Amino acid sequence: MNRAGALRRAARAAAAARPRHAEFATEGAAAGGQIVQQPPSGAPPVEGNGQDQGGPNQLHRRFSTLPWTNPVTLQSINPKILKTEYAVRGEIVTRAQNLQQELIVKPGSLPFEEIVYCNIGNPQALSQPPITFFREVVALCDHPNLLDKSETHALFSSDAILRAFRIIDNIPGRTTGAYSHSQGIKVCRDDIAAGIAARDGYPANPEDIFITDGASPGVHMMMQLLISSEKDGILCPIPQYPLYSASIALHGGTLVPYYLNESSGWGLELNELKQQLQAARSGGTNVRALVVINPGNPTGQVLSEENQREIVQFCKEEGLVLLADEVYQENIYAEGKKFNSFKKVARSMGLEDKDVNIVSFQSVSKGYYGECGRRGGYMEVTGLPKDVKDQLYKVASVNLCSNVSGQILMSLVMNPPKPGDESYEQFAEERDSILSSLARRAKVLTEAMNKLEGVSCNAAEGAMYVFPRLDLPERALKAAGAVGMLADVFYARRLLDATGIVMVPGSGFGQVWHTILGSSYLKANVAIFLLRSHRRSLIFVVALASLLHSCRVRLTYA
Amino acid sequence: MASGKVMDPENLNENVKKTVYAVRGELYLRASELQKEGKKIIFTNVGNPHALGQKPLTFPRQVMALCQAPFLMDDPHVGLMFPPDAIATARKYLAMTGGGVGAYSDSRGLPGVRKEVADFILERDGYPSDPENIFLTDGASKGVAQVLNALIRNDRDGVLVPIPQYPLYSATIQLLGGTLVPYYLTEESNWGMDVKDLQRSVTEARRKGITVRGLVFINPGNPTGQCLTEKNLRELIEFCIKERLVLMADEVYQQNVYQDERPFISARKVLMSMGPRISKELELVSFHTVSKGFLGECGQRGGYFEMTNFHPQTVDELYKVSSIALSPNVTGQIMMGLMVKPPRPGDISYPQYKAESEAISLSLRRRARIMTDGFNACENVVCNFTEGAMYSFPQVMLPNAAIAAAKQAGKAPDVFYCLRLLESTGISTVPGSGFGQKEGTFHVRTTILPSEKDMPGIMESFKRFNADFMSKYSDSKSKL
């Protein structure tokens, strides 16, 4: 390594000894993406504290003097939007945002000091650091003047500089400030395709890649393409990530549920798929696609290759597009488990483009990189006829292109430093430390959960979530019913109010409501192992235990 | 059915198939092919300044680099390459995020940046703006799609769109399954809009059973380049009040004005100046972006929309839809902040920022002149002056023989002309039919973005092509 590199590293090591971002006084307050709002100077004073997050009641009061003669009212907006639900940022999150404001306005007024957002896989909001090499390259690409300066070698690793040169030299205009090809910059698609080929051992075609602002727009594009009316159905797992239900609702299609089997570790069973498909078809629904999330969200299971083969065969036989959400492909924690892409499995079965349609979604937001705010993602669309792909391209082009530094980041994720590169050692260390910490947290958390009375939890084999089942006492159910809440929402709300921990109730993902011996089971999703440390995870588990306890106590004396 | 070709073009969503988006249509695809074959192509089809050699402003990019790689600020060498105000600004924006640019933000965008946008609107218009009604987006296009999605329920819902228009509107309305209700801009009065025409369009649409719900206008105009007067805007607002329409103001070119008689004035400012009850009644959405102006940061995908006088629950519904996409890209949000809150006099970076941005603005102003003058010097071509935005939209009076030749080739006449232009000069334009034009008229849209030194050469080669074309198809000659 050159001298400048050594200097750079020493300086950074010294800096790292200081607390990270110590100078950002508002970090705690901003952790959930919220900070206090001051009304603009000169703005008329508003009723209330003016700093509310905008709950409907607050706003109603503020505008209450207006006569509502508007052409656009809740009754006259697109009903598909009204019908759409999105629990990851729903009721509980709104409540949490309000509590956060309360903590700022009246510190010490609540039984906890901060809100811990476990509702969403947003690791960098919970202090996970970014991968240095990736950020070096995007910084250089965003400010390519640096590349021409000799001092740059004092600040950046040499392979980051080379990579930035290679990317920027291959972007028309040598700039990240231009709209790119609507499928994404060619050199980025080339790198992504190379990464897929290296991962799978089967070739990938850059022309099949559509780079998108995160994985979500790709999902929307496919739904838009597949759904013409409510007669078109999409098979979705239950529990599922609500992006799918929301996107299907927005596009006016029908969600055809299939249930994952909790007692077999959230297994995906072919019989269940077949039954649901037949039932939907006999009800007149034209089922067009099957969504599979692997590793699972929120369920965390990693599918076996055997299971994947069955699924591919099923899609081929039944003429379904396989929409494979593979955004957690780097997040595997269970011993002996391995991620296999559906495309690889199909190719290993001898199935080619002409045999089966597979769309694979990937993102920069998950894995060890966790670059949620960068909004990078891609979908690899295989098996579609050229003229259909042209239609997809047209839809992509209406939005011009996805954000360019997100595109670059996606290409880096799929083509990271290799052994022998200057950055490799540091890169591998950063990656492994994040992944092993996630694995430890997954383990500690599931074990601790399973020690609690009334809680059982499947092992989180992958992804970023645990999804424990809480067997709530009869009285808790009644208490929830008395306030008109679903029992899991009631529970999540109580947990939030008592501890400041934000979870998503299982009903937001869909769940089977069992009734055995007169009592319902309830599941609450907890994105818990993104928490900062083991200590924090344990605090959470303790909180959960005491809450279950107090819930009973309170109800007993109620 | 079980062939594996589930997604046969036959059974795709009809709305997808029907959608037309000319900016990246046939001409663009042909130009890309030619480029692959090694021909030099001058892309004037998309307002994409950096792709045509415009350099990004230094200060925003310095801040961006530091936000991307915040560990640089811990490095003792950072001062060698970054001025202190860029470092301070990067720290300011990082403090607004919860965990840097790698964390999802609030789905409407970072509250700190929305506050800066609100301050900018106050400073620009003299009327306060509420950050709670501002949504940051991945470029303005996403915002347009989101608002139209809430407005359009089915194919009986109509939205008034100017013709010629930027095809984002027609494409999005088509994708969402709504109905576009056209109103025509008048080329003879410098692409002005006439309320009588608007009225006629609404009446006719209603007669057909369409519920007209919104009106789009673009100021400065795309592709037409005109700047609206305050009087024009008042009429528009009064019209929308009378007809109970949502007004959608595409104001993404507000920094791109090339004459002094009609400076940009926002619809919101005019609305507020009209006083209650109108100022409290009209539902207005205004769009802005980092892609235009002298910043021209298209690849960053930053933008915002501001909702004025909307029902709070409707705002909440839009928030819900935003939340499904989680959040707009965070660096694009920061770029939006940098656009609305640039360095001020006294800041270290101010002189350089001012010099760079003025150089771009003045050069664009000169190019607007060179281009319109160049078109007007061509046979059978007339072009209104590009008062604003980034485009010239000359009318080409095609001889009958050319129209016949186009028909024979199975092309629309303007597409035929543009393809010929592309093949013989490498200039990639968009035919007027992609934007809509009055029956029997033919236009070409070019951006004014090629570099100033290339501009005379481009206009010269256009003129030569046009002269050859006109002489080849001249009506008198074809009669021989």
Provide the residue range defining the domain that includes A27.
1-68
CB interface of B with A, residues 292-331, below 8 Å: 296-301, 309-317, 319-321, 323-331
Q: How far apart are CA A382 and CA A36, in angstroms?
A: 47
Same domain, A40 and A144: no
Is the distance from CB of A186 to CB of A170 less than 8 angstroms? yes
Same-domain pairing of A165 and A46: no
Contact between B417 and B466 under an 8 Å Cβ cutoff? The reply is no
Of B423, B417, B365, B361, nearest to B394 by C-alpha is B417
The confidence band for A115, taking pLDDT boundaries of 50, 70 and 90, is confident
Compute the distance between CA of residue A225 and CA of residue B12 in angstroms, rounded to an integer.
6
Reported as a pLDDT band with limits 50, 70 and 90, residue A42 is very low
In angstroms, the CA B159 to CA B151 distance is 9
Phi first, then psi: what are they for A520, rounded to 5°? -90, 150
Q: DSSP string covering A290-330, please?
A: EEEESS-TTT-----HHHHHHHHHHHHHHT-EEEEE-TTTT
CB atoms closer than 10 angstroms to residue A482: 10
Say which of A397, A403, A405 has its CB closest to residue B138: A403
In whole angstroms, how large is the CA radius of gyration of chain A?
25
Tens of pLDDT, residue by residue over A245-294, are 889 988 999 999 998 888 888 889 999 999 999 999 999 999 999 999 99
Domain count, chain A: 4
The chain-wide mean pLDDT, for chain B, equals 91
- Whether residue B177 has pLDDT greater than 50: yes
Q: What does pTM read for this prediction?
A: 0.84
Is B78 an interface residue toward A (CB < 8 Å)?
yes
CB atoms within 10 A of CB B276: 9
- Determine the pLDDT at residue A545: 52
Q: Are A323 and A376 part of one and the same domain?
A: yes
The answer, yes or no, to whether the previous bond of A295 is cis (omega within 30 of 0) is: yes
Q: Could you tell me the two tokens for A321?
A: 């597009």
User: What span, in angstroms and rounded, lies between the C-alpha atoms of A466 and A295?
Assistant: 12
Q: What is the pLDDT of residues A291-327, one digit of tens each?
A: 999 999 888 899 999 999 999 999 999 999 999 999 9
More confident of the two residues B255 and A261: B255
Instruction: Examine residue A82 and state whether it is found in any structural domain, yes or no.
Output: no
How many CB atoms sit inside 10 A of residue A533's CB? Answer: 12
Whether residue A216 sits in one domain with residue A333: yes
Contact state of A356 with B131 under an 8 Å Cβ cutoff:
no
Within-domain flag for A30: yes
CA distances for A321 relative to A269, A390, B132, angstroms:
18, 17, 40
Residues A149 and A32 in one domain: no
Are B138 and A179 an interchain contact pair (Cβ–Cβ within 8 Å)? no
A48: left (phi over 0), alpha (psi -120 to 50) or beta: left
- Residues from chain B contacting residue A62 (CB–CB below 8 Å): 312
Closest residue of B to A377, CA-based?
A: B329
Contacts 24+ apart (CB under 8 A), A145-152: A145/B58, A145/B61, A146/B65, A146/B81, A149/B81, A151/B77, A151/B80, A151/B81, A152/B81
Predicted pLDDT at A512: 57
Q: Which range among A190-199, A463-472, B331-340, B430-439 shows the weakest confidence by mean pLDDT?
A: A463-472
Best CA proximity match to B147, nearest among A87, A217, A77: A77
> Do A215 and A360 belong together in one domain?
yes
Candidates B10, B14, B16, partner chain A, best to mutate (most A CBs within 10 A): B16
**Residue in chain A nearest B320 by alpha carbon:** A86
Tell the residue number behind the tokens 């109509």, with chain if given: B158
Q: Is residue A81 in some structural domain?
A: no
The reply to whether A424 falls in a domain is: no
B479–chain A nearest CA distance, Å: 42
Closest partner CB to A370 (pick from B11, B102, B245): B102
The arithmetic mean of pLDDT across residues B351-362, rounded, is 96
Q: How far apart are CA A203 and CA B168, in angstroms?
A: 35
Are A540 and A447 in the same domain?
yes
Q: A150 and A257 share a domain?
A: no
Residue A217 touches partner B, C-beta closer than 8 Å: yes
Residues of chain B neighbouring A38 (CB-CB closer than 8 A): 115
Eight-state DSSP code of residue A373 = G
Pairing, β B211-218 against β B157-163: parallel
Q: Which residues contact B460 (CB under 8 A, 6 or more apart)?
A: none
Least confident span in A56-65, A188-197, A221-230, B262-271? A56-65
Task: Kindly state whether residue A78 falls inside one of the protein's structural domains.
Answer: no
Is 60 exceeded by the pLDDT of residue B335?
A: yes
- Between residues A424 and A246, the one the model is more confident about: A424
Q: Which tokens go with A293?
A: 């999330």
Subunit contact B7:A385, Cβ cutoff 8 A: yes
A42-56, A88-102, B138-152, B414-428: least confident range: A42-56
CB neighbour class for A13 (10 Å; exposed up to 12, middle 13-18, buried from 19): exposed
Name the range with the highest mean pLDDT among A189-203, A224-238, B72-86, B174-188. A189-203
Are residues A407 and A347 part of one domain?
yes
Predicted local confidence at residue B272, as pLDDT: 97
**Residues A366, A214: Cα–Cα separation, whole Å:** 10
B332 interface with A at CB cutoff 8 Å: yes
- Do A331 and A402 fall within a single domain? yes
A375 touches chain B (CB under 8 A): yes
- For chain B, the residue count is 480
Find where tokens 């995906």 sit.
Answer: A268
Type of residue found at B232 = N
Q: What is the mean pLDDT of residues B153-166?
A: 92
The answer to whether the beta carbons of residues B50 and B345 sit under 8 Å apart is no
The answer to whether the peptide bond before residue B413 is cis (omega within 30 degrees of 0) is no
Please check whether residue A465 lies inside any domain of the structure.
yes
Q: Residue A164 sits in a domain of what CATH number?
A: 1.10.287.1970
For chain A, how far is it from start to end, CA to CA, in angstroms? 69
Shared-domain flag, residues A103 and A160 = no
Which pLDDT band, with edges at 50, 70 and 90, does A4 fall under?
A: low
- Burial zone of A74 (CB within 10 Å; 0-12 exposed, 13-18 middle, 19+ buried): middle
d(CA A327, CA A540): 27
Both tokens assigned to A438 = 């996630």
**Can you give the pLDDT at residue A414?**
97
In whole angstroms, what is the distance from residue B74 CA to residue A159 CA? 21
3-state secondary structure of A49: coil
Residue A222 corresponds to which amino acid? Answer: M
Length of chain A: 558
The CA dihedral of A231, A234, A240, A244, to the nearest 10 degrees, is -80
- In this structure, the answer to whether residues A192 and A153 fall within a common structural domain is no
Contact A81 B128 (CB under 8 A): no
Residue B377 has what pLDDT? 95
**Count of alpha carbons within 13 angstroms of residue B255, beta-carbon side:** 17
Residue A277 falls inside a structural domain: yes
* Least Cα separation, residue A53 to chain B (angstroms): 8
A79 within domain boundaries: no
Backbone CA torsion sign across B272, B275, B280, B284: negative
**C-alpha–C-alpha distance, residues B244 and B96, integer Å:** 39
- For residues A464 and A527, the answer to whether their CB atoms sit within 8 Å is yes
Higher per-residue confidence, B112 vs A80: B112
Banded model confidence at residue A8, pLDDT cuts 50, 70, 90? low
B105 CB within 8 Å of a chain A CB: yes
Q: What is the pLDDT of residue A14?
A: 55
Average pLDDT over residues A452-474: 81
Strand segments (E) across B25-170: 42-43, 134-137, 157-163
Q: Which CATH number do you get for residue A321? A: 3.40.640.10
Parallel, antiparallel or unpaired: strands B427-428 and B395-396:
unpaired
- Tell me how far apart the terminal alpha carbons of chain B are, to the nearest angstrom: 58
The answer to whether B292 touches B390, Cβ cutoff 8 Å, is yes
pLDDT (0 to 100) of residue A173: 79
Given pLDDT bands bounded at 50, 70 and 90, which one contains residue A80? confident
